[in-house]
Amino acid sequence: MDAALRDTLLQMPKAELHMHIEGSLEPELIFALAERNKVKLEYASVEELRTAYAFKDLQSFLDIYYAGASVLLTEQDFYDMTRAYLQRAHADNVRHTELFFDPQTHTERGVAFGTVVNGIDRALQDARKEWGLSGALIMCFLRHLSEEEAFATLEQALPYRDKFVGVGLDSSERGHPPEKFARVFARCKELGLRLVAHAGEEGPPDYIRTALDLLKVERIDHGVRCLEDAELTARLARDRVPLTVCPLSNIKLRVFDKVADHNLLKLLDAGLVVTVNSDDPAYFGGYVNDNFLQMFEALPLGREHAYQMARNSFSASFLDAAEKQKYLDEVDAFFGQ
Ligand SMILES: [Zn+2]
C-alpha cells in the first residue's frame, strides 16, 4: 500500500460502531486486575493467555472471553478497561464510538448492574471532556440465555436508562435465532431504545431477515453472509441498512480463511452501507485502524472506499442529525471534498 493511502486510513476521522468493551481487555490488564482483585486465573502468564487466543470458531472464543471478564469486579475495573480502549480509539482518530457491554456476563457473577454501567459511563464522560471523543452505550443481551433472563436484565437496566442509547444481541449465534427475543425487542422499542443485533456472522442469512422483520433492528452487526441471498442483499442496499463489519474478527473466528478472502469489497460493490470495526480487538489482533490497514493491504481498495466507509461510520451512528452533519463535514474536509 502506498504511504499516502496508509496515512489517510490512519488519520481520517471515523466512528466505531461495533466494539464489545469486554473484548478490549488486553492480557496485561486481565493479569493486573486479577492481581488487584485476588482472582485466580487458569493461565500462568500473559504469554500463555495470548497463546490460547487461537480460536477455531465463535464458541471457542466466547469460552476465553468469559474467563477474561471474570477479573472485572469493581467500578474502577470497568473504568480502567474502558479508559484503555478509549485511549487506543483516540490514537486511531476515532471521533465517536458506540460501545456494546454485556451486563449478564457480570450480574450472573454477582457484580451489580450499576457497578458496570457507572464505571464505563465515567470513562466515556472523561474522554468527551479530554479529547472531544463522544461515546454511547448499547446494552447487549446474551442470546444463549433465555428470554426471561433478558427481560430481567432490562428491568435492572431501567434505573440507568439515561446511560445507554440502545440494545443489541450477541454471543453464540447458531441455534439462537433472533425471534427468541422478539418480545424483549418489542418492549425495548416501546421504551424508545435504538435496536441492533448480531446476525449473519456464523448464522445463516435468514437470521438477518428475521432480525429486520421480527426484531425491527436499525443496523445489522456483521451481516457478511447476506451475500448468499441476492434478494436480501438487494433489500439491505435499498433500505440502506448499515452493516457493522469486523474483518479481523471474521478471520480469527474462521468465517473467512484469510484476509484476502474477505468479502468487504463485494459488500461495498453491492451498494451496502458498510462500516469497519474491531469487535473484540484484544482477542482478534487489532483495533479499528489495524482492521482498515489489513483490509486495504489485502484487497484492491482505494481512497474512494476509505472516504465512503468513513462517511458511512458517522451516517450509520445513533448521533442526532446535527452531530452527524458536523462529523460528515469533518470527513468531507479531510478528503478535500
Ligand atoms: Zn460483535
Average pLDDT over residues 72-99: 98
| pLDDT at residue number 66 | 84
Instruction: Give strand pairing partners of 249.
Output: none
Q: Residues with Cβ < 8 Å from 114, sequence gap 6 or more?
A: 159, 160
Share of the chain above pLDDT 90, in %: 89
Which pLDDT score is estimated for 328?
A: 98
3-state secondary structure 106-117: HHCCCCCHHHHH
Q: How confident is the model at residue 63 (pLDDT cuts 50, 70, 90)?
A: confident
Annotated binding site for substrate: 280
Three-state SS at 216: coil
pLDDT digits (tens, 9 = 90+) for 309-335: 999 999 999 999 999 999 999 999 999
Q: What is the mean pLDDT of residues 68-87?
A: 96
320 three-state secondary structure:
coil
Q: 245 C-alpha to center of ligand 1: Å?
A: 9
- Confidence check: pLDDT of 55 > 90: no
Residue listed under C-alpha cell 471523543: 133
What tens digit of pLDDT does each residue of 124-141 get? Answer: 999 999 999 999 999 999
Beta carbons within 8 Å of 211's beta carbon, 6+ residues apart: 169, 178, 197, 199, 217, 220
Question: What's the confidence (pLDDT) of residue 56?
Answer: 82
| Strand (E) or helix (H) holding 314 | helix 303-315
Closest CA relative to residue 202, chosen from 97, 61, 68, 296: 61
pLDDT of 94 > 90? The answer is yes
State the distance from the centre of ligand 1 to the C-alpha of 92, rounded, in angstroms: 19
60 pLDDT exceeds 90?
A: no
Residue 58 pLDDT: 84
Gap from CA of 23 to ligand 1 centroid (Å)? 9
- pLDDT reported for residue 245: 98
Q: pLDDT per residue over 31-52, tens digit each? A: 999 999 999 988 999 999 888 8
Secondary structure string (H, E, C) spanning 105-164? HHHCCCCCHHHHHHHHHHHHHHHHHHHCCEEEEEEEEECCCCHHHHHHHHHHHHHHHHHC
Q: How far is the CA of 2 from the centre of ligand 1 (A)?
A: 31
- Which segments are annotated as binding site? 18, 20, 198, 279-280
If you count DSSP H runs as helices and E runs as strands, how many of each does the chain have, helices first? 17, 8
Domain 3-332 listed as CATH 3.40.50.10800: no
170 alpha carbon – ligand 1 mean position (Å): 6
In the predicted model, what is the mean pLDDT of residues 108-131? 97
Say yes or no to pLDDT of 110 above 90: yes
Least confident range from 41-55, 182-196, 236-250: namely 41-55
Lowest-confidence pick of 56-60, 84-88, 147-151, 209-213: 56-60
Using CA atoms, how far apart are residues 139 and 137, in angstroms rounded to an integer? 6
Q: Which pTM was predicted?
A: 0.96
Share of the chain above pLDDT 70, in %: 100
**Model confidence at 12: pLDDT above 90:** yes
Q: Residue 278: how many CB atoms within 10 A of its CB?
A: 31
Following CA atoms 74, 80, 86, 89 in sequence, which dihedral angle do they give, to the nearest 10 degrees?
-120
Q: Is 201 a catalytic residue?
A: yes
Q: What is the chain's mean pLDDT, rounded?
A: 96
Is 77's pLDDT higher than 90?
yes
The binding site for Zn(2+) consists of 18, 20, 198, 279
Predicted confidence (pLDDT) at residue 208 exceeds the cutoff of 90: yes
Q: What is the mean pLDDT of residues 261-290?
A: 97
The domains of the chain are located at 3-332
CA 41 – ligand 1 centroid, Å: 24
Please tell me the least confidently modeled range out of 58-62, 132-136, 220-224, 289-293: 58-62
Candidate list 148, 201, 202, 330, residue with the active-site label: 201
DSSP-derived 3-state class of residue 270:
coil
Q: Give me ligand 1 centre to Cα 105, in Å.
A: 14
